[in-house]
Amino acid sequence: MSSNKDISGLTLEELRAYFENIGEPGFRAEQAYLWLFKRGELDFERWTDFPRALRDRLSELFGPRRLDLYGRLKSKDGTEKLVFKLHDGVIIETVLIPTGERATVCLSSQAGCKFRCVFCASGLDGFKHDLTAGEIVGQVLAVRGATGLIPTNIVVMGMGEPLDNFYNLEKALRILNDRRGLGLAARRMTVSTAGHIPGIERFAKLGLQVNLSLSLHAVTEKLRSDLMPINRKYPLKDLLAACERFVQGGGRKMTCEYILIRGVNDSAADAEGLAEISKKLWAKVNLISYSPVLGLSYQTPTRGEVEAFKRRLETRGIPVTLRRSQGADILAACGQLAGRV
Ligand code: SF4
């Protein structure tokens, strides 16, 4: 227990065991969950129904908080990027996307990324480390603390490959899902993978109805390996077979994310290939127009080119959402999170 100094990374059962171990009644765990998740109160000093000695003890063991808000930027479209400094000085980024009734938080799962997709900023400075469950859940609490908005949806699409940090991801999802805490419905949470086959297989057995989204971005082995080196380890053919098993096994729907890069993956043949794959997986397609990354020379397609690609999919009966990648002006859009100050 003492190695995990982040209270928001503990399941209610772990917290109960902690309190019982120090001679406190187990119900303190429910009280703590109320303060943390229902009231969003991270300062133990304000946990007024806890005896003073216990508050001091909690501060000693679990404080100071490990996620320091280091900076924040607000886009003209309302999207907000929050930059956090971890206990070891490493920077991670979290994005809040408010749309109508929804407040979607895009979480990072790793500091940096080892998969180095060529269009993405997150891998540019290499991989630092996995985030703990507390650092993943902590982003949700910190966003709420900073903005006052209670997150309604979670997407794990920020820095890192979530399925490469499975243990912490799973724990974080279970904590966020716990009705005694934040109680985020599993169907309001989406995990995105670049194509980590063993992770998809474990994810299928999770027993939680969390959505899975595949960052596809290319429909041939050659182009996908060029754009996303993970494809050399887990080729498209095997990846699609794993996704088919996922869909058939659990009856869960998938989404294919496709970042449209001008002159790279936006041809008629690409649209054809994408339609084929989506049909096979019963998946809808999220089209995202590429957002520029400093130091990379890829180009954003014009609105007309994006529309034409979308129409090609729709005429083949594929449900398509055109996701105008939000927050591009503050480098908070898909593929732009670099973890730099
Ligand atoms: S797209 Fe995902 S897997 Fe690829 S480098 Fe970026 S964060 Fe990593």
> Could you give the count of Cα atoms lying within 13 Å of 264 in the half-sphere of its Cβ?
22
Nearest-angstrom CA–CA distance, 281 and 240: 8
Q: What are the start-end ranges of the E strands in 109-188?
A: 110-112, 127-130, 153-156
Specify whether 163 is located in the same domain as 23. Answer: no
Q: Who contacts 152 (Cβ-Cβ below 8 Å, separation ≥6)?
A: 101, 102, 103, 104, 184, 188
State the pLDDT at residue 4: 46
Q: Is the CB of 113 under 6 A from ligand 1?
A: yes
CATH number at 326 reads 3.20.20.70
Using alpha carbons only, what angle is made at residue 224 by residues 222 and 230, rounded to the nearest 5 degrees?
115
Contact 105, 153 (CB under 8 A): yes
Specify whether 52 is located in the same domain as 79. Answer: no
State the pLDDT at residue 296: 82
Specify whether 157 is located in the same domain as 222. Answer: yes
Q: 115 alpha carbon to ligand 1 midpoint, in Å?
A: 6
Specify whether 153 is located in the same domain as 302. Answer: yes
State the pLDDT at residue 46: 95
Position 242 in a domain: yes
Contact 296, 267 (CB under 8 A): no
Position 336 in a domain: no
Specify whether 31 is located in the same domain as 113. Answer: no
Catalytic pick among 93, 135, 161, 257: 93
CATH number at 23 reads 1.10.150.530
Q: 110 alpha carbon to ligand 1 midpoint, in Å?
A: 10
Specify whether 73 is located in the same domain as 58. Answer: no
State the pLDDT at residue 335: 74
Position 1 in a domain: no
| pLDDT, averaged in runs of 10, over the chain (341 residues) | 70 96 96 95 94 95 80 91 93 94 96 92 89 96 93 96 98 97 96 98 93 97 97 98 92 90 97 97 95 86 96 97 72 70 58
pTM of the model: 0.94
Position 339 in a domain: no
State the pLDDT at residue 3: 41
State the pLDDT at residue 340: 63
Total domain count, the chain: 2
Position 191 in a domain: yes
Range of the domain at 151: 68-330
State the pLDDT at residue 26: 96
Position 216 in a domain: yes
Express each pLDDT in 155-193 by its tens digit.
999 999 999 999 999 999 999 999 999 999 999 999 999
Of 323, 303, 329, 339, residue with least CA distance to 155: 323
Q: Choose the residue to mutate in 163, 190, 215, 233 for probing ligand 1, maximizing ligand atoms within 8 Å of C-beta.
A: 215
Position 30, amino acid:
E
Specify whether 205 is located in the same domain as 321. Answer: yes
Q: Is the CB of 115 under 6 A from ligand 1?
A: yes
Buried b (16+ CB within 10 A) or exposed e, 22-51: eebeeebbeebbebbbeebbbebeebeebe
| Domain C-terminal end among 37, 62, 87 | 62
Specify whether 168 is located in the same domain as 47. Answer: no
State the pLDDT at residue 301: 95
Position 111 in a domain: yes
Q: Which atom of ligand 1 is nearest to the CA of 192?
A: 2
Position 52 in a domain: yes
State the pLDDT at residue 270: 98
Q: Is the CB of 161 under 6 A from ligand 1?
A: yes
Q: Crossing angle of helices 166-177/133-147, nearest 10°?
A: 50
State the pLDDT at residue 294: 79
Specify whether 153 is located in the same domain as 226. Answer: yes
- Cis before 25? omega within 30: no
Question: To the nearest 10°, the Cα dihedral for 257, 263, 266, 270?
Answer: -100
93 part of the active site: yes
What is the 8-class DSSP label of residue 72?
E
Q: 79 alpha carbon to ligand 1 midpoint, in Å?
A: 20
Q: Choose the residue to mutate in 161, 164, 228, 337 for probing ligand 1, maximizing ligand atoms within 8 Å of C-beta.
A: 161
What is the 8-class DSSP label of residue 300?
P
Specify whether 14 is located in the same domain as 72. Answer: no
Cα 106 versus chain centre, distance: 5
Express each pLDDT in 222-250 by its tens digit.
999 999 999 999 999 999 999 999 999 87
Q: Choose the residue to mutate in 95, 108, 116, 265 for probing ligand 1, maximizing ligand atoms within 8 Å of C-beta.
A: 116
Specify whether 311 is located in the same domain as 174. Answer: yes
Specify whether 55 is located in the same domain as 98. Answer: no
Q: Who contacts 286 (Cβ-Cβ below 8 Å, separation ≥6)?
A: 213, 255, 256, 257, 258, 320, 321, 323
